[in-house]
Amino acid sequence: MEASIQAAGHRLASRAMRRVDYAASYPNDLLLEGVLWWYDSTGDPSYLRHVLSVIEGRGWKPGDGLNWEDQPFVCIQFNLFLTTGNRAWISRFVETARDFRARVPRSSDGAVAFYDRPDTGRIFVDYLQNYALWMARAGWLSGDRSFFDEAVSQYQLHRDALRDPETGLWSQGRGWGPSPDFVSPLGWLRGHGWILRGMVESLTYLPDGELCHRRMRAMLDEFAAALLRYQDDRGMWHQVPHRIDSYQETTGTGFITHYLSRAVAQGLLAEAPFRPAAQRAAAALAGFVTKDGTVLNGSTGCGPLLHVEDYLHRDAPPGEPHTTGTVLMGLAGLFLFTGDKSKMALWRTVITP
């Protein structure tokens, strides 16, 4: 199993490195994050060199300012800091996080609202995870504990608004339909991957044993248990998680595989049943990587939709731009169990802020 996963990851990463047109965009930054995770897992320096060459080609340098409005879902500079140890990549992170918290639009219940058409107060799980992670990391870097409370409170507000008590699954957003109170139907696996990402990444920086950590940990326990109910026999999750008639979807499965692996490796989730679930998922993902490194079954991006059928029939073209980063992350998750974690910079919590 490990050999086939490693072979699939190398095909995928090698295909990614043949591209040079990585203009700044969140799918491209997510791809670069995946390549950094593959570097972290394999130790092959060519992967890191490639990412740094792409960043240099953009004209980005350590010490440059950050702009949260231009980075709604991913902050690749923080991953560069973790990988290289160069703090200049995040020299302005805390001040930018303060500006983010002060100026982000909010809905009537206080939940952070998506920056596009802020007057509508629309909330969006993809955006939630990035905001919470900015807050948790800023608290870790600065010692300002109000950032921790903000990260957890936003997850609680979104849980209250979007979680379905029967399935334990979350809707992708609220307010994107005919009224500010309209909640999108349960669906879209990648949204669930984003939710899990925000929980696990935030917990990496929230102080262990304190109330903020316990509150987020309780939401993670609840959410991870719900996800596990919908993993199929092959190890995959489906485009609409509770609809087995929807297609097996790779980007959401990649996210979930990676963050279940991370959560187990960091002691946030129990070995059983989550480690074998993540291992089965990684093995299944490898089967969706073609001989030339193209990933199949990746859903195209979307905001919250009006009908579950819109999610069921969402296009999934070969090589969809979100697939490379998410699937590389999923495949790399296996090596959190089998590799030398002392050399894996991206997942460690021991870096002194």
Whether the per-residue pLDDT at 144 is higher than 90: the answer is yes
* 149 SS3 class: helix
How are beta strands 173-174 and 123-124 bridged, if at all?
antiparallel
Distance CA 211, CA 72 (A): 27
**Which is higher by pLDDT, 40 or 254?**
254
Q: Which residues contact 342 (CB under 8 A, 6 or more apart)?
A: none
C-alpha 315: how far from its chain's center? 21
Integer Rg of the chain from CA? 19
pLDDT score for 341: 58
pLDDT score for 338: 72
Give ∠ CA 39-43-45 in degrees, rounded to 5: 70
User: What residues pair up with 249 in beta bridges, in sequence order?
Assistant: none
pLDDT tens-digit series, residues 310-345: 999 999 999 999 999 999 999 998 888 776 655 556
| Residue 147 · residue 139 · CB < 8 Å | yes
Whether the per-residue pLDDT at 350 is higher than 50: the answer is no
- Average pLDDT of the chain, as a whole number: 93
Stretch 172-187: mean pLDDT: 93
Distance CA 21, CA 28 (A): 9
Percentage of the chain lying above the pLDDT 90 cut: 86
pLDDT score for 110: 97
Stretch 265-271: mean pLDDT: 94
- Structure confidence at residue 352 as a pLDDT band (50, 70, 90): very low
pLDDT tens-digit series, residues 43-68: 899 999 999 999 999 999 999 999 99
pLDDT tens-digit series, residues 158-175: 999 999 999 999 999 999
pTM score of the predicted model? 0.96
Distance CA 173, CA 213 (A): 24
Whether the per-residue pLDDT at 353 is higher than 50: the answer is no
Percentage of the chain lying above the pLDDT 70 cut: 95
Q: Which residues contact 281 (CB under 8 A, 6 or more apart)?
A: 231, 235, 236, 237, 253, 256, 257, 260, 330
Q: Which of 22, 54, 36 is nearest to 325 (CA)?
A: 36
pLDDT score for 339: 62
Distance CA 17, CA 54 (A): 10
From the number of C-beta atoms within 10 Å of its C-beta (0-12, 13-18, 19+), residue 106 rates as middle
Q: Which of 140, 168, 164, 136 is nearest to 152 (CA)?
A: 136
pLDDT score for 343: 56
Which run of H or E residues covers position 9?
A: helix 2-17
Distance CA 207, CA 82 (A): 18
Q: Which of 276, 252, 272 is nearest to 197 (CA)?
A: 252
Q: Which of 284, 306, 280 is nearest to 295 (CA)?
A: 284
Q: Which domains does the chain have, with CATH numbers?
A: 2-343 (1.50.10.10)
Compute CA distances 204 → 197, 234, 271, whole Å. 11, 30, 18
- Structure confidence at residue 19 as a pLDDT band (50, 70, 90): confident
